[in-house]
Amino acid sequence: MTTITTTTKRSSVVLTDRICQRHVTERTKVYDRKCPGLYASILPAGTATFNFKFTDKQTGKQRSTVLGVYNPETFTVDDARSKVYALKAMTPAALVAQLRQTKVVKIARGKTVAEIVEERITWMGAKVLKRDGEMRPRIESWEGVTRHLRNFVVPRLGKMIASEVTKHHIATLSNDIVAGKHGGKASVANARHMRRAASGLFNWAAEAGRDYVSASPCINLPKLDEEHPRTRVLSADEIRVFWHGLGRTDLPWDRTTRLALKFALVTMLRSGELLPIHRDEINTSEGTVDIPANRVKKRRIINQPLSDLALEIIREAMGNYDYAFTGRFGNAPLARQAMSGALKGTKHKNGKVKTPGICDLLGLKPFTTHDLRRTAATMCGELGLSEAGISLCLDHQANKDEHGKPLPAVTNRVYNLATRNRVLRKREVLDPWAAELRRIIGAADAEMRMAA
């Protein structure tokens, strides 16, 4: 015997989809005569929410639960009736438990975007056990994602209830970033970063157990304009000016940073890979350096051969320190931004130049540390060196064998873990590249073989 009774209103009508779509000037409740207990709450904003009201005779209290928001495609009057009939078929205890769960979801749906952003950041940064046995952040790019969320999403949407954010809000924010109306200068790249960070945020917020939102609003957004990859490559003359300019004693940038820039050009390593090189990572007998997976973009160990020029640079830079490129205190490597900061210089908050960059001081067209990798790869290609070898030097996974035949993607990722042959193929590129650099900078004789 059930103890649930439904409440019927005298003003009830047969609820229809058309009624749910009508315009009202104030909040209006319309009760359904066909399904007692079901009513639609229609707002002036144009939304209608279905609710189920009943009285629990065990407690004598009237209870209600939200069924969902009217949608002509996904949740109609007939869908709401079906849901009510299912609830009426439940036992009183089960129905009360269902209501309790609905209340929990309702509280979760009341969180602001700023609140779930901070939860997401904590979740991403939590350290977990990785495949290589190390404990590292769950999302290893979490610091970059954090910047995108805090710089782009929170200032605009932070105070909004997360469940109320729509596709229109995300699209408008994206358009403003592209137009330079939000987050600094106009940038398609920043809009793309924002979309990626927001999509990850709302997909995570919609997962079972959180239920902060019912679905991600980052779907079917207008396509962004195509981004054109950078093509800056230093010429031989620019390399000569750059190399000898780094040896000047009047530059405001420290010697270690300048040697790191030379090392990047010689080895094709990324700044985050080369700056923290420790003495224990250098194999002097083999003439290689082993970059651990936690510093590599693709999270795989890099065994990079060092040419004689690279060895000269790293020996001079390291001296008696443990790290190849130490900061001013000598007990830690240079910051990752040291090289890029030296190239472009620094500015005060008012925009005035604080310290001029190396490019300006040497009269060179601006370029980045990543452009040094592109320059080295391009010149190696012009020398006719192996494209597969150049790809390996850049730590781009080789997808073809020595005969140009495509390899299955899983081959090098899971099965072929041999490194010796790859090191040899890299050396066939890096040694000739070092020789070409010596020719370009005019340091062929013994007196100029030092990296200064």
Q: Which two tokens stand for residue 422?
A: 């790859």
Q: What is the pLDDT of residue 414?
A: 45
pLDDT tier at 348 (50, 70, 90 boundaries)?
A: confident
For the record, the structure tokens of 16 come out as 């229809």
CA distance 274 to 268: 9
Map residue 19 onto helix, strand or coil.
Answer: helix
Residue 362 pLDDT: 96
- What average pLDDT does the structure give for the chain? 86
Please state, as a whole number, how many other Cβ atoms lie within 10 Å of the Cβ of residue 158: 17
Distance CA 187, CA 120 (A): 25
Specify the pLDDT at position 97. Answer: 67
At residue 446, does pLDDT exceed 50?
A: no
Q: Please state the rounded mean pLDDT for residues 250-267.
A: 95
pLDDT band for 183, please (50, 70, 90 cuts). confident
> Going from the N-terminus, what domains does the chain have, and what CATH number goes with each?
4-107 (3.30.160.390), 113-205 (no CATH), 236-448 (1.10.443.10)
Which of helix, strand or coil describes residue 328? coil
What band does 419 get if pLDDT is binned at 50, 70 and 90?
low
Are residues 175 and 168 in contact, defined by beta-carbon separation less than 8 angstroms?
Answer: no
Task: Mark 174-185 as b/e (b = at least 16 C-beta within 10 Å).
Answer: bebbbeeebbee
Helices 255-267 + 236-245 axis angle, to 10: 150
Q: What is the pLDDT of residue 109?
A: 61
pLDDT greater than 90 at residue 203:
yes
Residue-level pLDDT at 7: 44
Q: What mean pLDDT do residues 326-342 have? A: 90
Mean pLDDT to the nearest integer, 286-301: 88
Is residue 402 predicted with pLDDT exceeding 70?
Answer: no
Q: Is the pLDDT of residue 3 over 60?
A: no
Q: Provide mean pLDDT across the span 386-391.
A: 90
The percentage of the chain sitting over the pLDDT mark of 90, rounded to a whole number, equals 57
The pLDDT-based confidence of 447 (bands split at 50, 70, 90) is: very low
Within 8 A by CB and 6+ apart from 303, the residues are 288, 289, 290, 419, 422, 423
- Of 166, 248, 286, the C-alpha closest to 215 is 166
> What is the band of 452 on the pLDDT scale with cuts at 50, 70, 90?
very low
Residues 127-180: pLDDT tens digits? 999 877 888 899 988 999 999 999 999 999 998 888 888 999 999 999 999 999
- C-alpha 109/C-alpha 61 separation (Å) is 25
pLDDT digits (tens, 9 = 90+) for 31-61: 999 999 999 999 887 888 899 888 776 677 7
Selection from 393, 207, 433 nearest residue 304 by Cα: 393
Q: Which residues contact 228 (CB under 8 A, 6 or more apart)?
A: none
Q: Which of 99-108, 210-219, 346-355, 424-433 has the lowest mean pLDDT?
A: 99-108
| Three-state SS at 409 | helix
Q: Quick one: pLDDT at residue 5?
A: 46
Which residue type, as a one-letter code, is found at position 361? L
Neighbours of 421 (CB within 10 A): 11
Task: Indicate if the pLDDT at residue 409 is higher than 60.
Answer: no
Q: Which residue has the higher pLDDT, 2 or 210?
A: 210
Separation of alpha carbons 24 and 40, rounded Å? 13
Give residues with Cβ within 8 angstroms of 406, minimum separation 6. 399, 400
Q: What confidence score (pLDDT) does residue 160 get?
A: 87
| pLDDT over threshold 60, residue 407 | no
Average pLDDT over residues 264-279: 95
228 near 271, Cβ under 8 Å? Answer: no
- Read off the pLDDT of each residue in 394-420 and give the average, rounded to a whole number: 57
Q: Which ranges constitute the DSSP H helices of 45-166? A: 77-88, 92-108, 113-125, 142-148, 154-157
Residue 80 has pLDDT above 90, yes or no: yes
> How many CB atoms neighbour CB 345 within 10 A?
18
Tell me the chain's radius of gyration from C-alpha atoms.
31
* pLDDT value at residue 32: 93
What confidence score (pLDDT) does residue 72 get?
A: 87
pLDDT band at 111 (very low <50, low <70, confident <90, very high): confident
Q: Which of 6-20, 108-122, 198-212, 300-314 has the highest mean pLDDT?
A: 300-314
Using alpha carbons, select from 204, 198, 205 the residue that is nearest to residue 219: 198
